[in-house]
Structure formats: C-alpha cells, structure tokens
Amino acid sequence: MPINYAWVLDEWDRFLMFSQRFKDDVIDGDTMRTVYRYVVSDDEITQQLSLVKLSLETVFEDWKWPYQGQSLVFQVKKMREEIQESIPLIARREEIDANLTPDAPGPLIAADDLHPWVWSAAQPHWESGNHRAAIHAAAVNVNSRLRKKLGRFDVSESKAVREAFSIEDPQPGRPRLRLCTPDDPDHFKSIHVGATNLGSGLFGAVRNPVAHLSDEDHDLPEQEALECLAAFSLFARWIDRAEVQEKPASEASGTPTPDAQE
C-alpha cells in the first residue's frame, strides 16, 4: 500500500498544534510563578511524538532520530524544527520530482552480451585498448562465418552479403539465407534487402576504414567503437538464425540468371 502523504501531513500538523507552548501563572503557596505548558498533556505529546518519528522513518529511508533519551522539552523542540524542514519536501514532492529528479539512465550495451562471433574475436584487442583492431577482427570473423554458412569462399565480403540475402531464388552452387518465408512478398523483399544493405554498409563504411586508414585519418572514440561492434552483433545474429536454402545441381535448367542485386 502506498504512503498516504495527506495523512502524514495531517499528523505533522497535529504535532505542531499539540506542541505549542503557552504561559500559565500558577500560585504556589503565597508565590505566583509562571510556567510553560503544552496545549495537551505530556502523555499526548509523547504519543504524537512517537507517531511522527515513525512517519519520518517511513517517508525518508535514511532518517534517524539522534535525540532519544533527551528531555521531552528538548525532543519536542528538535522535532518541531525537523517537521518544519520536512513539510515542503512532502507537500511539494510532485513539483520537486518534476524539476530536480534526474532522468533515469538508459540501457547500457554490455560487450560480453554481444553475439559470440563478434565478442570472441574482438575481446583480446578491446581489452588491450585497441578498439580499431577489435572492430576489424569482429568484421573478419562475421565475414568468415557468413561464407562458411553459405559454402562460398570464392566471393568477396560485399558480394557474399549480396549473394546471401538476394531475393532471387537459390541456384546450384549459390545458396541463399532466408530470414522469413516469401508468403508476404513485400515483407520478404523488405527484410532481405534491408539485411543486404546493413551488411554491405558495415563492411564498406565500418570495416574498410579501420582496416585501411590510419588513426589520424579515422579517429574512433570508444563509444562509437562499441556501437560498431553492436551493429556487427546484430548482423551476426541475422546470419546465425537465417535458414540456408539450396538448389541441387540436378534441378538446374539452363544457365543460372545473374542475381538482380549484383
């Protein structure tokens, strides 16, 4: 059950009301003297003080009461100060949260949760601080896994990607990777053209610069390097889960037509 802040504020107000002091003249024999009394009895003050302590401990997780054992008058004085400081924190809590609560941190990319094809190749270089080498090693391993799954070691990186996710039917010696069935032609085309574009973009715009340009010509901050590994990890997952479709040579009829995307 959530805290009833309205009730808490009411009980704090009740304590402030109970703990008001007034002067009272009393006659002691032949002498009149002035004493200070609370609005209610000391017992009622003590009970309300205990309730207020409990509420403060509940509302503020780290709140402690360091005055236990002191006189009732001293404890009441300190509690009145405590409540006066705490009331605006509760009464205006929504306003305070809206203006002073920092944004919750977003999700983080954990390197060791990347696809094993990527992190197993990148880890030694990454841990030594060579982020460019980590990206290059990951790209090389993803490319090797792709060509191994296709059984195509006779094509370059970019052509292997185009061959793998071509929307053309498989041909003898030219299998395809399928991420979905062609039941919905538009969806089928969108998925496989997208996979082709992602893979080609990664090898062209990420792998090639780290392989061929110097550090001065291609500065790569750590965060961007990690994002590059994450992109290769996504592409690796697509390759890993894709089904291979092949056409046996016995089914060939005539000369295979070139892929539309080549």
For 241, residues 6+ apart whose C-beta sits below 8 A from its C-beta are 179
Q: What is the pLDDT of residue 260?
A: 41
DSSP state of 165: H
- 258: tokens are 């070139």
Q: What is the pLDDT of residue 261?
A: 43
Sign of CA dihedral 109, 110, 111, 112: negative
- 200: tokens are 């080609």
Tell me if 25 sits within 8 A of 32, measured CB to CB. yes
- 119: tokens are 């992190």
Per-block mean pLDDT, blocks of 10 residues, the chain (262 long): 92 95 77 82 94 95 92 94 95 89 80 95 95 95 95 85 94 94 96 96 94 79 94 97 87 50 42
